[in-house]
Structure 1
């Protein structure tokens, strides 16, 4: 009965306004582009490029990223409208409740994509092609016949790709001549998988409790293959993999970053704690900055990375050398 009520409320059509079409772009989700910032910081700390036009590049780069992401959101909301009707909160989206023109929706997608790529072109080849990949990732995730969001675990891995893409966008704003190290790229990717897995875990727990698993299955086919236990274990796996590649990056490129690792671990733990709360903001990452605990954890991690980026700690290099204890000393 609950699920029938949800669908009937969601599917009442109303005429759309310009503001309704603009809502498809989810400009309020621009906070997600905070994941670009570490790319900027690390590119500067590790590459030390000239910063003659850095401010202009950063502003244009963020504008480009927002535009490309908005194009992805437009196509996401339009193609998900029938499925979102089964979601307790997403049923309120404009594409579900309103009568939209397909022509205008696709025109809006094209406009945001064009603006994003035109801005990206001004920032160099590396940034431009990274933006193209960003746009393509939205098509792979949302558009049939691939529509990776319908495939269990593939949905998490493909959506998480947005994380290393944002890292690369930030990096190439500062140093367009190189790309981030592979260890950092994979660490960012698996960290994104952890975030997306935690989001699905929170959705699974809440929607199953409200309306049962059947409604959840109609909302997203991939949930037919998930359980709360399997999602929890997957989050643990993604976090472990991310920690491994973070450590590999730290040891290889700047050993001082090891001192920031405990703060990064606390950040992961804080996000998982949020995901386990009822009606968690983990389901709506654009609202993550409303959590004081998460903000404090993020602030400490960023501060630790900043400090260890510019303060040398020679003692760490002494401690990292090979050292074996002779048996004779134990007698």
Structure 2
């Protein structure tokens, strides 16, 4: 009888991981995030007019490479974060938290994804390959000690959002093999991504602080020890302002016609910030943003406006790039 009591008091061991659990760590359902590659494709075509020979094979190789390297980053992220994710309401459901995994399959799948992803990237030329290496290294810097930028306030957002300009360059490199996208465009894309990641942090802070409490946030991620709701909100405004400033610089230097899309771009920022304020916000799960009908409608309208602006010349807009003064004539005495 005493033996039964002792055995029943022991904590249940987590089940052993299946191959599906290891596969789930690659987060193939997050492939929707690669939509940030598409503007790079379009802008390279509009600004550089590259030859589009063998376009389909380049796209297939490029997207396959991007998916594999992103999966490698997700694998190492989930494995190294498993103790911290246990404190997060949603991430605590991940396989690495709930089942017993062994290091060998994790590191083997991580290595295989990196190796095959970079091998495919090599086939597309130096621009795409170097960008892919940076894509992989961004995951190392973000997740692996002693760097582990995700634990440092503000640096966590800035380092994670680097994936935005990297993805833009992946799209650019699929069709344009000899140049790099304009610096103003890359910086604008970076700050736009920082706004998205800042809004994600703000949404997490509001929801967890109102539920389990701020102490749980501190256990989940060290960077939250410095954050407050006020600081996160201010940072979102700062990133949005920097993004719009840099977009303006890019337009003046390369194609002022993109100005017609500016009201829609500003509306996108506003709508996304509004989403981050909701309980259970989808801003915490960017891979599910396509379910937000209003946001998708705005995104579609913005893409359409940018495509029109890229194809149609509007000479009257050139006046916005030139200085003008209103002259006031003095009346006769």
TM range (shorter): over 0.9
What's the CA shift for 1:12? 5.8
Kept in 2: contact 1:81–1:95 (CA 8 A): yes
**1:19 match:** 20
Q: In structure 1, how many angstroms separate the alpha carbons of the residues matched to 2:227 and 2:323?
A: 45
Deviations 1:24-61 (A, max 9, x none): 00000000000000000000000001101112111211
Moved over 3 A (4+): none
* Alignment map for 1:185-224 (pairs within 5 Å): 185-224=186-225
* Cα distance between partner residues in 2 of 1:167 and 1:299: 18
Q: Is the 8 A contact 2:252 2:321 kept in 1?
A: no
How much does 1:251 deviate? Answer: 1.0
> Given the superposition, is the C-alpha separation of residues 325 and 74 from structure 1 closer, same or farther in structure 2, using an over 3 Å criterion?
same
User: 2:8 aligns to what?
Assistant: none
d(CA) in 2 for partners of 1:85, 1:320:
53
CA distance in 1, matches of 2:165, 2:13: 39
TM-score (norm 1): 0.95
Matches within 5 A, 1:116-265: 116-265=117-266
Q: How many positions carry a matched residue from both structures?
A: 321
Equivalent-residue separation in structure 1 for 2:116 and 2:268 (angstroms): 34
Kept after mapping to 1: 8 A contact 2:65/2:116:
yes
Secondary structure of 2:184's counterpart equals: helix
Q: CA separation in 1, counterparts of 2:129 and 2:91?
A: 32
Contact in 2 for aligned 1:126/1:172 (Cα 8 Å): yes
Q: CA RMSD in A?
A: 1.2
Shift of 1:320: 3.3
SS, match of residue 118 in structure 2: helix
Task: Give the aligned partner of residue 65 of structure 1.
Answer: 66
Looking at structure 2, the residues matched to 43 and 20 of structure 1 have their Cα atoms a distance apart, in angstroms, of 39
Q: What's the offset of the Cα at 1:130?
A: 0.5
SS at match of 1:327: coil
- Partner residue of 2:281? 280
Shift of 1:14: 1.4
The answer on whether the counterparts of 1:140 and 1:148 sit within 8 Å (CA) in structure 2 is yes
Q: 1:329 to 1:194 in 2, by over 3 A?
A: farther
2:96 is aligned to: 95
Which 5+ residue runs of structure 1 have no aligned equivalent?
1-10
TM (norm. structure 2) is 0.95
CA contact (8 A) 1:84 1:96 kept: yes
Q: Is the 8 A contact 1:12 1:97 kept in 2?
A: no
Give the corresponding residue for 2:30.
Answer: 29
* Matches of 1:147 and 1:182, distance apart in 2: 26
Return the alpha-carbon distance in structure 1 between the equivalents of residues 265 and 171 of structure 2.
Answer: 19
User: Any stretches of 5+ residues in structure 2 without a counterpart?
Assistant: 1-11
CA shift for structure 1 position 329 = 7.1
Contact 1:71 1:109 in 2 (8 A): yes
Residue 31 of structure 1 contacts residue 286 of structure 1 at CA under 8 Å; is this kept in 2? yes
Determine which structure has more spread, i.e. the larger CA radius of gyration. Answer: 2
Q: Deviation of residue 13 (structure 1)? A: 1.8
Deviations 1:103-128 (A, max 9, x none): 11000100111111111011111101
SS at match of 2:71: helix
